[in-house]
Amino acid sequence: INTLPQEFIGAQPILKILTRAGFEAYFVGGSVRDMLLSQVIHDVDIASSAFPEEVKFLFEKTVDTGIQHGTVMVLDHGEGYEITTFRTESTYTDFRRPDSVTFVRSLSEDLKRRDFTINALAMTLDGEIVDLFGGLDDIKNGIIRAVGDAETRFTEDALRMMRALRFSAQLGFIIEADTQKGLIELVPNLEKIAVERIRVEFEKMLMGASAANSLKIAVQDKVMLYLPGHIGQWELSLIISDLEIYQANHIVVVWCHLLTRSPLKIQEMTHFMRQWKLSRDIMKTVIAVVPIVRQIENVTILDLYTVYSYADVLLEILKITDVADKTIQHVRSILKMLPITQSSELAINGSDLIKLGIVQPGPRMGHALKAMEKAVVLSEVSNTPEALTSFAKEQFSHDKN
Ligand code: ATP
Ligand code: MG
């Protein structure tokens, strides 16, 4: 096949160099799967029989991005390609990370350690597929199936259970019966996995096109009991029916949605989000948006500046939680009424403030711009150069910068 997607074409010279030097080299993992599914290809991963030192010897520019697990990045024409040495992972005493990785020379050993058959495909540089575990059939039939014995694989690494749900949600695939049995059996092991790793998979799951179905399975199979925080059955059923119709388009939307549907008060929300180790940015957005969404039908004077600041997320959540169309129209008309829709529409900007000698470049500039933005949004100052200049002078020129 010479019609490989562009992402692979760029990496072909790298595979050529490796194979000419007598090593094996393949495209592996998600990129091969996504190509076969005609989905967007993210990063193209390369696996090779060459050991890291051998890779570094063959290529002029390399970076040790993860050399302890065998990954070296090769830089070529401004692009970076990760080459990982074929490896096995032995004895997982903490259910999380392999105790050690062993580099091996055989592709089959490397494919065997991978989580699901659809992720255990390899492809040569001319597009020939190596399929040792029936991954091609599973892709065709839409099946998530553990490579080897599911219980063993989930015992080695409990995160794989979250990944099964995540891929199922993203691809609309069903989880094969033995794989699901293994999941039901080993779900308590999820407690041993670092929150951050679970969170990544959970978020990807909830943003998937088939998120509702995966979340339903997660509830039925008691996965939710072993995740951080607690979301009640009733709220979960609401969330599931929301997701049957709408798909979250951003991580922050995922969390705003979950918490809108939860009965938690503000302090409790903060506690819940800390348990999930969410970023400050996401926590801040949730705290701003959720109270507005929850009360939107009763509140007559909305916090205009919050509506303005979080307009995109707010409209997304209103759509997802299916509040009356009237309410969405109301928020839209509020947004339309505002003098500006974004800070770039301010009649004067940062460099004007500097030219006018009102604010010096530096940390105070951000505060000054925010204050002008807020004053304009709340119609305390009109959005004209004159009005803003005098506002800024009044507010800031006496301050020491
Ligand atoms: P995405 O497009 O979301 O990145 P991906 O399949 O590339 O999907 P990654 O998490 O980037 O997923 O992992 C790359 C590959 O490494 C997988 O396709 C799989 O073969 C293997 N892999 C990743 N995590 C695990 C794991 N926990 N256990 C076994 N194999 C894994
Ligand atoms: Mg990937």
Ligand 1 touching residue 71 (CB < 6 A): no
How many domains does the structure of the chain reveal? 4
One domain, residues 88 and 6: yes
Q: How far is the CA of 269 from the centre of ligand 1 (A)?
A: 31
Closest ligand 1 atom to residue 160 Cα is 27
CA-closest residue to ligand 1 atom 1: 30
From 227, 243, 258, the end of a domain falls on 227
- Give the pLDDT score at 400: 47
**CATH number of the domain within which 364 lies:** 1.10.246
Ligand 1 touching residue 160 (CB < 6 A): yes
Burial of 281 (0-12, 13-18, 19+ CB in 10 A): exposed
Q: Compute CA 169 distance to the chain's CA centroid, rounded to the nearest angstrom.
A: 13
One domain, residues 127 and 1: yes
Q: How far is the CA of 52 from the centre of ligand 1 (A)?
A: 20
- Give the pLDDT score at 326: 74
**CATH number of the domain within which 181 lies:** 1.10.110.30
CA-closest residue to ligand 1 atom 12: 30
Tens of pLDDT, residue by residue, the chain (401 residues): 458 999 999 999 999 999 999 999 999 999 999 999 999 998 899 999 999 999 999 999 999 999 889 999 999 988 999 999 999 876 555 555 666 788 988 999 999 999 999 999 999 999 999 999 999 999 999 999 999 999 999 999 999 999 999 999 999 999 999 999 999 999 999 999 999 999 999 999 999 999 999 999 999 999 999 999 999 999 999 999 999 999 999 999 999 999 999 999 989 999 999 999 999 999 999 999 998 888 765 555 568 888 899 999 999 998 888 777 777 887 888 888 889 999 999 999 999 999 999 998 888 899 999 999 999 999 999 999 999 999 999 988 765 44
One domain, residues 1 and 128: yes
One domain, residues 164 and 123: no
Helix 195-207 × helix 251-261 angle, to 10°: 90
In a domain, 268, yes or no: yes
CA-closest residue to ligand 1 atom 25: 115
One domain, residues 27 and 131: yes
Counting ligands in written order, the one closest to the CA of 197 is 1
One domain, residues 54 and 119: yes
Ligand 1 touching residue 135 (CB < 6 A): no
Task: Kindly report the number of other CB atoms within 10 A of residue 298's CB atom.
Answer: 6
| Residues 273 and 282 sit within 8 Å (Cβ to Cβ) | yes
One domain, residues 82 and 205: no
One domain, residues 308 and 269: yes
| Residues 193 and 228 sit within 8 Å (Cβ to Cβ) | no
- Give the pLDDT score at 301: 56
One domain, residues 34 and 111: yes
Q: Is the ipTM of this complex over 0.90?
A: yes
One domain, residues 156 and 57: no
Ligand 1 touching residue 257 (CB < 6 A): no
From 338, 355, 381, the end of a domain falls on 338
Closest ligand 1 atom to residue 114 Cα is 30
Counting ligands in written order, the one closest to the CA of 148 is 1
One domain, residues 49 and 9: yes
Residues in the 5 Å CB sphere of ion ligand 2: 30
237 lies in which domain range? 231-338
Measured CA to CA, the distance from residue 213 to residue 168 in angstroms comes to 8
Counting ligands in written order, the one closest to the CA of 33 is 1
Nearest CA among 119, 178, 115, 110 for reference residue 147 = 115
In a domain, 25, yes or no: yes
CA angle 333, 335, 340 (to 5 degrees): 135
In a domain, 401, yes or no: no
**CATH number of the domain within which 84 lies:** 3.30.460.10
CA-closest residue to ligand 1 atom 9: 30
- Give the pLDDT score at 101: 84
One domain, residues 28 and 110: yes
Query: Annotated binding site for Mg(2+), which residues?
Result: 43, 45
| Residues 90 and 102 sit within 8 Å (Cβ to Cβ) | yes
